[in-house]
Amino acid sequence: MKVIMRWTYGSPKKPAADFTSDWLDAPKALIITDDLEKAGRMKDVEFQDEIGTSWTKKELIKLLTEIKDDPSNVTVYFDGGYQKEDGLTGIGVVIYYTQGNQNWRIRMNAVLRELDSNNEAEYAAMFEAIRQLQELGVHHQSCIFRGDSQVVLNQLSGEWPCFEENLNRWLDRIEQKVGALGIKPIYEPIPRKDNSEADKLATQALKGEEILSKLNLNEK
């Protein structure tokens, strides 16, 4: 979790000034806060996280205590494949994360029906990825989302407009869930060859091969 510090620096009978830090890891921001407080030069301090929520020092300490054993350093790969002839969609999701000083990987896929296009398949895969993060207990942190659909990722980031009504519904659902979890999404379009793991999972789903696995990468 990263935060920005905003504080007033000063002491009695001396000029005061307001300062704002760069983005800092929250534990480091608390160390700096303690140092400034011990020096008697900090009047007020506030912390703002990556989704714009403000925290007092007490609130931030409590939050970090609550999430210290939660998954972190999350990177998600997703892909969706649409077969027009039979109206089937295969989605694949791969999640890499750290928890308890261990590195983990989750792989899952699924078959969906009643979607209308490959772009909608990609949105459905993205939505399922966020649902998986919710089940993992991921919240109040940055997460990297990687896929090979330039259209979907650029629409999600707001760089490209979305005019299709059905895709806008997916956008709204994704944004609502991301906001509720306090996740700061970082969207990174990648070449298809770099998304082969999620692509393979989507293809396997269309072949009837259901996959759901969790692997401790430290034991490989």
pLDDT in tens, 156-179: 999 999 999 999 999 999 999 999
- pTM for the model stands at 0.81
pLDDT digits (tens, 9 = 90+) for 23-71: 999 999 999 999 999 988 888 899 999 888 899 999 999 988 888 888 9
Question: Long-range contacts for 24-33 (Cβ within 8 Å, ≥24 apart)?
Answer: 25/1, 26/1, 26/2, 26/60, 26/64, 27/64, 29/3, 29/5, 29/60, 30/57, 30/60, 30/61, 30/64, 32/5, 33/5, 33/7, 33/57
Q: Can you give the residue ranges of every domain in the chain?
A: 2-67, 72-219
Quickly name the fold that domain 72-219 has: Nucleotidyltransferase; domain 5 (3.30.420)
Residue 210: its pLDDT value, please?
95
Does pLDDT of 128 surpass 80? yes
Q: How confident is the model at residue 100 (pLDDT cuts 50, 70, 90)?
A: confident
